[in-house]
């Protein structure tokens, strides 16, 4: 592929990404974006993400606000059905709430401290101390040999 063709392809990809982001801002689903720009749903998702990453912080913040406003509108439309106890409306509202949490970063992973059981701690300490105890035992044996005094026997006489 020549440099000119490669550059043209990059321009086409950038334009597709910009169009995908624009369609997403208008509220289209990824499936609809894929149909509109002529690509797979996975490529549409990738295009939107790539376009968002290339945005300035203000643009990404604006897009977040737009998405949050869309979610608010969806929840408002479900309000009466939720109040009436409609299970489908409640499930839909929960799904919208999950998307809001993900968008706002509220579902970030939490650090979990793993604490060993007392038995595991004991085994670990024994493993750490074993070489020291073995070295000490060898040293003690060597000192016994160096300081060995044979027992004194009394002779009758």
- Give the residue extent of every domain in the chain: 7-54, 57-107, 116-147
User: pLDDT digits over 70-123, tens only?
Assistant: 899 999 999 999 999 999 999 999 999 998 888 888 876 767 777 778 888 888
Residues 6 or more apart whose CB falls under 8 angstroms from that of 111 comprise: none
Coil vs helix vs strand at 44: helix
Other Cβ atoms within 10 Å of 101 Cβ, number: 12
Considering the entire predicted model, what is its pTM?
0.40
* pLDDT tens readout for residues 16-71: 998 998 899 888 899 999 999 999 999 999 999 888 887 766 667 777 888 888 89
């Amino acid at each position: 592929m020549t440099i000119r063709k490669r550059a043209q392809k990059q321009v086409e990809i950038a334009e597709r990404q910009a169009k995908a982001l624009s369609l997403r801002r208008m509220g289209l689903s990824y499936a609809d974006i894929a149909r509109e720009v002529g690509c797979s749903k996975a490529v549409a998702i990738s295009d939107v993400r790539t376009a968002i990453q290339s945005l300035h912080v203000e643009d990404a913040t604006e897009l977040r606000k737009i998405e949050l406003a869309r979610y608010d509108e969806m929840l408002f439309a479900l309000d009466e059905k939720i109040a009436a106890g409609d299970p489908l409306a409640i499930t839909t509202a929960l799904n919208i709430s999950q998307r809001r949490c993900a968008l706002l970063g509220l579902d970030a992973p939490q650090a979990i401290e793993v604490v060993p059981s007392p038995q595991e701690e004991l085994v670990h300490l024994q493993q750490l101390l074993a070489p020291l105890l073995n070295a000490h035992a060898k040293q003690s044996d060597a000192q016994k040999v160096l300081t060995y005094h044979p027992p004194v026997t009394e002779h009758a006489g």
